[in-house]
Amino acid sequence: MKKVFHFLFIILIAMSILTACGGSASPSTSINVSMTDFTFSPNSFVIPAGAQISFAGSNNGAVTHSFIIMKSGYHVKGHFTDADKPNVFWEAPQIAPGQSVTDKFTAPGDPGEYQIICGIGGHFEAGMVAKLVVVKQP
């Protein structure tokens, strides 16, 4: 009998760990981001593949910012230049200081991690980057 309780206890612990991990990765069809000089907050977004996504960005910094999602597997290196532009998946309208923008886009169909950057000169270099995680629809 004691062994059975021991076994149930282990199952309970395993279940709570699985639940905790699942919760952190639950996808959302909206992205709400605050931008400052030079940070995206939050800096990680989880969205379902192929879904219609509502974007809302607000610039709480002192200079203009942008929100650019790079294509699957592509990472900007060093500087964001014209050479990177063919590898942009989606770009929100630029946002002036104190302004907000809303827009919509269709999430990538391929699950995986996508790089998000600010394309304003010098901001990528200043560390203005974030991560988009695209997950398969259940």
> In terms of C-beta density within 10 A (0-12 exposed, 13-18 middle, 19 or more buried), how is residue 134 classed?
buried
Query: If binding is defined by CB under 5 A, does position 65 make contact with Cu ion?
Result: yes
Out of 118, 129, 130, 132, the only residue in the binding site for Cu ion (CB under 5 A) is 118
Binding track over 74-113 against Cu ion, x by CB under 5 A: ----------------------------------------
CB closer to Cu ion out of 51 and 95 = 95
DSSP, collapsed to helix, strand or coil, labels residue 4 as helix
Distance, in Å, from the CA atom of 118 to the CA atom of 138, rounded to the nearest integer, reads 31
| Strand ordering across the sheet containing 44-48 | 44-48, 129-135, 112-117, 68-70, 88-91
Out of 31, 68, 117, 128, the only residue in the binding site for Cu ion (CB under 5 A) is 128
CB closer to Cu ion out of 118 and 129 = 118
Distance, in Å, from the CA atom of 96 to the CA atom of 68, rounded to the nearest integer, reads 15
Closest CB 9 distance from Cu ion, rounded Å: 50
Q: Which residues here bind Cu ion, judged by CB under 5 A?
A: 65, 118, 120, 123, 128
